[in-house]
Amino acid sequence: MRKTKLYPSLIKLSLIIGLLFVSRLVFADESLGGISENVLGPINILRHLFNIASIVLGIFLLLSAFNRYVRYRQNPQESPLSTVITWALLGVLLIVIPIAYHLSQEATEAANASSTSQVSYHDIND
């Protein structure tokens, strides 16, 4: 019997379907702004997925670091303290990065909203 590799063919098929879907979105509008809006939709979804994955992975790393610390307290030679510290720092970093990005986006939107609402035009002769 001949073994067929299913995964490479599935990957190729999903790439072809994905490219057809994205190309339809890109060419569905007549203006360049409409095309960029159509492309940014899936990118925003990916950004949210990466943020969620980063937070979940950070939580798991923190829990794993706590577990390693408990094992370190029982037997210090089994798992070194540097592993615990590294995993805890990586966990905190993976949690803080998406939150900081979200807060910076909110601050930018608030600054843009306040700057556009405070714009006033005065006549030079006044």
pLDDT per residue as tens digits for the range 7-49:
667 777 777 776 666 655 555 556 667 766 766 777 778 888 8
pTM of whole model > 0.75? no
Q: How confident is the model at residue 100 (pLDDT cuts 50, 70, 90)?
A: very high
Task: Taking each helix axis as running N to C, give the angle between helix 32-74 and helix 81-117, from 0 to 180 degrees, rounded to the nearest 10.
Answer: 150
pLDDT per residue as tens digits for the range 36-92:
676 677 777 888 889 999 999 999 999 999 999 999 999 988 888 999 999 999 999
Q: Match 């905190």 to its residue by tokens.
A: 92
Cβ atoms < 10 Å from Cβ of 15: 10
Give the pLDDT confidence score for residue 109 in this predicted structure: 86
Alpha carbon distance 78, 83 (integer Å):
11
Please report, for the chain, the start and end positions of each structural domain, with discontinuous segments joined by +.
9-108
Q: Is 80 exceeded by the pLDDT of residue 114?
A: no
Asked if 87 and 95 touch (Cβ cutoff 8 Å), the reply is no
